[in-house]
Amino acid sequence: MTSKMDAFWMPFTANREYKQSPRLLAKAQGMHYWTPDGRELLDATAGLWCVNAGHARPRIVQAIAHQAAEMDFAPPFQIGHPLAFSLAERLVKLTPEGLNKVFFTNSGSESVDTALKIAIAYHRMRGEAQRTRLIGRERGYHGVNFGGTALGGLGPNRKLFGSHVAGVDHLRHTHDLSRNAFTKGQPEHGVELADDLERLVTLHDASTIAAVIVEPMAGSTGVLLPPKGYLQRLRDICDKHGILLIFDEVITGFGRLGSPFAAQHYGVTPDLLTAAKGITNGCIPMGAVFVKQGIHDAFMQGPPGAIELPHGYTYSAHPMACAAAHATLDTYEDEGLLTRATQGGPLQTKFETALHSLEGLPHVVDIRNTGLVAAIEFAPRAGAAPGRRAFDVFLGCWDEGVLVRSAGDNIAISPPLIIDEGQIDQIVSTLAKVIKRID
C-alpha cells in the first residue's frame, strides 16, 4: 500500500485488497474513461448507473461552470431561486401522470429516506398515525441511510448496523433461476410472489402499514426484472389496503429501460417515486422524490405560515445541481436518449442479442436484460467467497479495457445511452474472452 492511500476510507470497497493493487481513473469523455497512465476503458456501466448521456458533455460542463460563477449557492429554506422552480416544472412533465410535485435531495439514499418520511407523515396528517410500518423486499437496495438500510434486502449491508428502524418487514424477492433463467425481458413466472404482501398484511394488519418500497427493476443486486403482472398486482394490493406504493427509480429513472421512468415502461404508477443519478447525468449530486398531488395536499393544512414538512437539506435544489439537471434534460431531449433503449427498437434488440450470445460459456447460469441494462450471472466458485468469480470477470475486463460492474455473482452492464453497435460488440467480445479464461 502506498502511504498516500492511507487516509481515504473508501466506500463499499475492500480497502486492504484495493490498496495493494489500486485501480484509478483520471479522465472521462463520451463513452470512455482513461487511467492516469493513459489507458482507455470503454464505460459499460455509465459510471455507476448514472452517466446516461455519456461523460463530460459540453453543454452540461458549460452550465455548471456558468452557474458556479453566477451564483454558487442559495439557502433553500424560506428562500428560492428560479432554476429550482423551472427544473421542478420540467421534471414533473417527464414523470407518470399524477406525480406532479417534487422534493429535491442530494442522493438516492436521501430520496429514499425522504420518501419514507413523507409516507409516514402523510398517514398521520390524515389521522392514521398508527400506519408507521414499512415494507421492503429481499434483494432490494435503497441506499445507505437508516431508512434505506432497514428497507434494503441484502444481509451484508444490514448486519453491522443494529436494528436501525423499527417496524420493518420484507417481501420475498422475485429472482427464480429454476423457472426464468435466460429470459429476454420480463420473466413469465412469479406474479404470485406479489401475494406475499397479503401475507404481511395478514400478519401485521393493514392499519399498521404505511408504505411498500420496491425497485421496479432491482439494479444493484443483479438486475432482477419484475415477473409479468407482478408490479400491477402489488399496486392492486396496496390500493385494496390503503398502503402507499413507492418505486425506487434511482437506477431505472431517466431512460435506462427505454422510457423516462420504469413506471411508464411497466404501465404501473406508484404514489411516490424516488430518483437521483441520471437526473444530472451523474456529474453533480442531486436526487428527487416525486409525489402525487393528493399526498402533497394532505400536508397543506393548518395556518398558512406553518412549515408543512419539517424536512430538507442544506443542498436541496442546489443551484449548480439545478443548472446541471437543466442541461442534462436538454441533452436527453435533443438526442432522444430517454427513449433510445426502447424495447424492440434496433439498439435494444442488438444489445439483447449480443448479450445472450454469451449463453453456454463456462459458469454462466443466467443472462437477463431489459432496455440498456443486463446481467450475466455466474455459478459461485466452490470454496471461495460468494461473488469472487464475477469479481474476477470484472478485473479481467478492466485489464482488457472495458469497465463492467460486479454485483454478487453477477456482472451488470448498463452503458451510457449514447452507446453504438460497435461498442456493444466490444463489450460482449471482451466479456466472452475473459469468461472463457477464468476458472
Residue 112 in contact with ligand PLP, rule: CB under 6 A = yes
Of 72-80, 244-252, 361-369, 408-416, the segment contacting ligand PLP by CB under 6 A is 244-252
Residue 169 in contact with ligand PLP, rule: CB under 6 A = no
- CA angle, 140 then 141 then 144, to 5°: 145
Residue 276 CB, nearest approach to ligand PLP (Å): 5
Kindly state the number of chain residues that form the binding site for ligand PLP, as judged by CB under 6 A.
14
Residue 107 in contact with ligand PLP, rule: CB under 6 A = yes
Strand, helix or coil for residue 162:
coil
Residue whose C-alpha cell is 424560506: 78
Which run of H or E residues covers position 27?
Answer: strand 27-29
Residue 173 in contact with ligand PLP, rule: CB under 6 A = no
Indicate which single residue of 250, 295, 364, 374 sits in contact with ligand PLP (rule: CB under 6 A). 250
Residue 368 CB, nearest approach to ligand PLP (Å): 17
Binding characters for ligand PLP, 129-148, by CB under 6 A (x = yes): ------------xxx-----
The answer for 279, left when phi > 0, alpha when psi is -120 to 50, beta otherwise, is alpha
Which residue number places its CB atom closest to ligand PLP?
A: 108
Residue 174 in contact with ligand PLP, rule: CB under 6 A = no
The CA distance from 73 to 59, in Å, is 20
Residue 97 CB, nearest approach to ligand PLP (Å): 22
Q: Which is nearer to ligand PLP, 131 or 142 (CB)?
A: 142
Residue 108 in contact with ligand PLP, rule: CB under 6 A = yes
Tell me the DSSP string of 367-420.
Answer: EEEETTEEEEEEPPPTTSPTTHHHHHHHHHHHHHTEE-EEETTEEEE---TT--
Residue 220 in contact with ligand PLP, rule: CB under 6 A = yes
Residue 258 in contact with ligand PLP, rule: CB under 6 A = no
Residue 193, judged by CB atoms within 10 A of its CB (0-12, 13-18, 19+), counts as buried
Q: Which is nearer to ligand PLP, 151 or 338 (CB)?
A: 151
Residue whose C-alpha cell is 429554506: 77
Residue 211 in contact with ligand PLP, rule: CB under 6 A = no
The CA distance from 191 to 228, in Å, is 6
Of 130-138, 168-176, 248-256, 405-413, the segment contacting ligand PLP by CB under 6 A is 248-256
Q: Which is nearer to ligand PLP, 31 or 115 (CB)?
A: 115
Residue 113 in contact with ligand PLP, rule: CB under 6 A = no
The CA distance from 342 to 48, in Å, is 21
Per CB under 6 A, which of residues 271..330 are in contact with ligand PLP? 276
Indicate which single residue of 54, 187, 190, 219 sits in contact with ligand PLP (rule: CB under 6 A). 219
Of 104-112, 189-197, 262-270, 427-435, the segment contacting ligand PLP by CB under 6 A is 104-112
Contact between 173 and 137 (Cβ < 8 Å) = yes
- Strand runs (DSSP E) across 264-345, as ranges? 272-275, 287-291
- CA angle, 9 then 15 then 21, to 5°: 125
The CA distance from 87 to 323, in Å, is 9
Binding footprint of ligand PLP on the chain (CB under 6 A): 107-109, 112, 141-143, 215, 219-220, 248, 250-251, 276
